[in-house]
Amino acid sequence: MKKENNNQSNFSQAIGKQTVKFHNPPAIISRAAIVGQMEGEGPLSSFFDQIENDPTFGMNSWEEGESEMVRRAIQTAITKSGLSKDNIRYILGGDLLGQLIGTTFGVKNFNIPLFGLYGACSTCGESLSLGAMLVAAGYAENVIAVTSSHYGSAEKQFRFPLEYGNQRPLSATWTVTGSGAFIVSSTCDKNIMNSYPKITAVTTGKIVDFGVVDNMNMGAIMAPAAADVIYQCLEDLSMKPDQFDKIITGDLGKVGSEILIKLLRDNNIEIADRHMDCGVEIFDCEKQDTHSGGSGCGCCAATLAGYILHNLDNGTWKKILFVPTGALLSTVSYNEGQTIPGIAHALIIEHK
Amino acid sequence: MKKENNNQSNFSQAIGKQTVKFHNPPAIISRAAIVGQMEGEGPLSSFFDQIENDPTFGMNSWEEGESEMVRRAIQTAITKSGLSKDNIRYILGGDLLGQLIGTTFGVKNFNIPLFGLYGACSTCGESLSLGAMLVAAGYAENVIAVTSSHYGSAEKQFRFPLEYGNQRPLSATWTVTGSGAFIVSSTCDKNIMNSYPKITAVTTGKIVDFGVVDNMNMGAIMAPAAADVIYQCLEDLSMKPDQFDKIITGDLGKVGSEILIKLLRDNNIEIADRHMDCGVEIFDCEKQDTHSGGSGCGCCAATLAGYILHNLDNGTWKKILFVPTGALLSTVSYNEGQTIPGIAHALIIEHK
């Protein structure tokens, strides 16, 4: 791959092995985070747009509740933006459930063209990356990136019936009930350019499989994928960790975060002083008994929509590396004795 | 949405509500179709790269077999292209199985950045659309779009254990065991421009839900989505059906094809004289007892990689509208009483 595609260098640049840098970086002009009760009782409570105490969100099941949460996240982001929904050209979305039913039934009444995505809990990164790429290329003025997860629907699908009350090891994470929606928009208008956080580069991750087979230790599965994409992002852009105010992973939890820091340290990259994990932040793990931390597509999406972009808006941070992390767990492949591979995508988000 | 984004009009144009037209259309420079025994006994037999009689493809399960089929499709497409795999910047892929395990385990050893996609049987259209968009925008010189389905793994997940030998109504389709992989490449080099079929426009579909709840009549679910995206494509580009040599849907089968033709006729669009459905073509439905026809992500992917592109190569057809169709069926939402929504994506493929 050549370092620069001169033919299109007016709007973006494919750099190194896995990175695209935008010359005209798209902005996140609106966002919304809708979460469940437990997330609302956690330390990030004040940053969410809506906290819903009913686990089915007024619907008949957890799955329908997850879709309703997705619908509310999209509607809230659109309403806050002041745009009409007719101005949104694409929705890029996904969730953890088989055949993406959280997303499907959540987006269907918006009548907007859909790209359904799956990257487990990294899907928030995948949707924002592809959304930014489509906008920066001029295919759309505005797109919505949306992801969700729900504790009830995820546990039911991936582990045990909740009624069974199974024991959870300390390495286990707690699936966040939450959805984050983002309107990613063109910055041809300079007012938009200066008023909103922008996605300035994306590094797309590969599947990384260290052979872990423990579905109660998702952090250990995802940490190598996170290390791989962070390493490659820094390499492709010739950057150092201290050029970021924060390096923020999706849902490694406490266990996975330690592994990530160690893996990068072994490669002479030190991030311990600026690393943060959405899964560790979203719950008070001791008090809320969530063990290693939060997880799920909704974990980093709700944390980005709420807490992280707030800190970029108010100038606490100017430039972050945001790295949603996914463990590609399936009960079918797991029960057939396969490993659980990981994947992670990295985005540079800046605001001046 | 404005009709043209002047800022980027050098490489593409967002037209109408849902369409993108490429000024520098990406080419499909290589492709491969790997199928199972029954597809190999069907009328398109001679167009496939590999017919495997072992339903597990030499592995331990149908799911692992599906992944092996994906791996072979990608490897064959790369080998036929003469490219090194290091020249492939992204894989865009998906399948019908929960958490895309067919794709995940099939692509993981290629070590290429992955965008996991899900649009049920429309995923072939989604992967080629996004692949063409990324290439036309200059983010990549070459990408791979790959999709798969497997009769055994799909029936096991969506319907009954095969051992149960359930009766199938005549409206039912038969999931194709097949995978199609495509290398989509930049046409900055004029030799490539003239030597290969090109994707000249894409129309991205919305979820269309007519409230059908019969999981043994997928054609009826998908036909309205196909009608919607074909109508919008023609509208956006101010085109008529007779400007295409063929209008080819993914897997409506006989039942769904009739519904599609009628729905479009009700809107004053007549396609009966040039419509073809991959699901109807891939099997001899009478002799092979496949009722309404073939279905699955692999159905239209293998038919495109084999039969359709062959007919574009040899000049039988010059311009086609290719419309993979998907029914967003999930056993969870289905058993909770939800409808089965449909989605379809349209691509114009041309070769001079």
Chain A residues touching residue B233 (CB < 8 angstroms)? none
pLDDT of B60: 96
pLDDT higher at A130 or B170: A130
Mind telling me how many Å the CA of B287 is from chain A's nearest CA? 32
Backbone φ/ψ region at B211: left (φ over 0), alpha (ψ -120 to 50), beta? left
Size of interface A-B (CB pairs under 8 A): 213
The average pLDDT across B202-220 equals: 93
Cross-strand pairs, B294: B174
What is the ipTM score, two decimals?
0.96
pLDDT of B352: 80
Do A115 and B117 count as a contact with CB atoms less than 8 A apart? yes
User: Which of A9, A86, A130 minimises the CB distance to B130?
Assistant: A130
pLDDT of A7: 42
Do A11 and B12 count as a contact with CB atoms less than 8 A apart? no
User: Which of B10, B87, B329 minimises the CB distance to A1?
Assistant: B87
CA-nearest of A74, A253, A259, A60 to A175 is A253
Which residue reads 């800046």 in tokens?
Answer: A350
In chain A, pLDDT over 70 holds for what percent of residues?
97
pLDDT higher at B304 or A190: B304
The average pLDDT across B271-295 equals: 95
Do B205 and A61 count as a contact with CB atoms less than 8 A apart? no
The average pLDDT across B76-88 equals: 97
pLDDT of A89: 98
The average pLDDT across A5-28 equals: 81
- Determine phi and psi for B207, rounding to 5 degrees: -70, 130
The average pLDDT across A288-309 equals: 96
pLDDT confidence of B309, banded at 50, 70, 90?
very high
pLDDT of B6: 38
Distance CA B269, CA B250 (A): 19
pLDDT higher at B271 or A214: B271
pLDDT confidence of B3, banded at 50, 70, 90?
very low
The average pLDDT across A240-260 equals: 97
User: Which of B9, B98, B134 minimises the CB distance to A330?
Assistant: B98
The average pLDDT across A267-275 equals: 98
Chain B CA closest to residue A10:
B8
- pLDDT for residue B212 is more than 60: yes
The average pLDDT across A66-95 equals: 98
Distance CA A127, CA A132 (A): 8
Among B170-174, B192-196, B284-288, B302-306, where is mean pLDDT lowest? Answer: B192-196
User: Which of B98, B139, B186 minimises the CB distance to A99?
Assistant: B98
- pLDDT for residue B1 is more than 60: no
Among A62-76, A212-226, B42-56, where is mean pLDDT lowest? Answer: A212-226
pLDDT of B126: 98
The average pLDDT across B63-76 equals: 98
pLDDT of B8: 44
Chain A CA closest to residue B128:
A115
- pLDDT for residue A6 is more than 70: no
Mind telling me how many Å the CA of B156 is from chain A's nearest CA? 10
Mind telling me how many Å the CA of A21 is from chain B's nearest CA? 9
Do A7 and B209 count as a contact with CB atoms less than 8 A apart? no
- pTM value? 0.96
Specify the DSSP class assigned to residue A173.
Answer: -
- Cβ atoms of residues B118 and B94 within 8 Å: yes
pLDDT of A3: 35
User: Which of B96, B99, B138 minimises the CB distance to A120?
Assistant: B99
Do A329 and B188 count as a contact with CB atoms less than 8 A apart? no
- pLDDT for residue A8 is more than 70: no
Residue B144 three-state SS: strand
Q: Which residues contact B160 (CB under 8 A, 6 or more apart)?
A: B166
CA-nearest of A299, A255, A309, A307 to A279 is A299
In chain B, pLDDT over 70 holds for what percent of residues?
97
pLDDT confidence of A10, banded at 50, 70, 90?
low
User: Which of A5, A100, A207 minimises the CB distance to B114?
Assistant: A207
Chain A CA closest to residue B156:
A332
- pLDDT for residue B7 is more than 90: no
List the single best residue of A99, A135, A203 to mutate versus B (max B Cβ within 10 A): A99
Chain A residues touching residue B5 (CB < 8 angstroms)? 138-139, 141, 186
pLDDT of B10: 57
Say if residue A239 is exposed, middle or buried (CB neighbours under 10 Å; 0-12, 13-18, 19+). middle
Do A12 and B139 count as a contact with CB atoms less than 8 A apart? yes
Q: What's the longest Cα–Cα distance across chain B? A: 59
| Mean pLDDT rounded to a whole number for chain B | 94
User: Which of B97, B138, B206 minimises the CB distance to A5?
Assistant: B138
Q: What are the E-state strand segments in B66-177?
A: 90-95, 114-116, 142-149, 174-175
Chain B CA closest to residue A111:
B206
The total number of residues written for chain B in this structure: 352
Say if residue A139 is exposed, middle or buried (CB neighbours under 10 Å; 0-12, 13-18, 19+). buried
- pLDDT for residue B149 is more than 60: yes
Among A95-109, B24-38, B51-65, B188-202, where is mean pLDDT lowest? Answer: B188-202
Chain B residues touching residue A336 (CB < 8 angstroms)? 60-61, 63-64
Do A117 and B112 count as a contact with CB atoms less than 8 A apart? no
pLDDT of A338: 93
- pLDDT for residue A222 is more than 90: yes
Chain A CA closest to residue B83:
A1
- pLDDT for residue B192 is more than 80: no
Do A204 and B113 count as a contact with CB atoms less than 8 A apart? yes
pLDDT of A204: 98
The average pLDDT across B167-192 equals: 90
Do B64 and A20 count as a contact with CB atoms less than 8 A apart? no
End-to-end, the C-alpha distance of chain B in Å comes to: 32
- Determine phi and psi for A135, rounding to 5 degrees: -70, -45
- pLDDT for residue A23 is more than 70: yes
- Cβ atoms of residues B28 and B81 within 8 Å: no
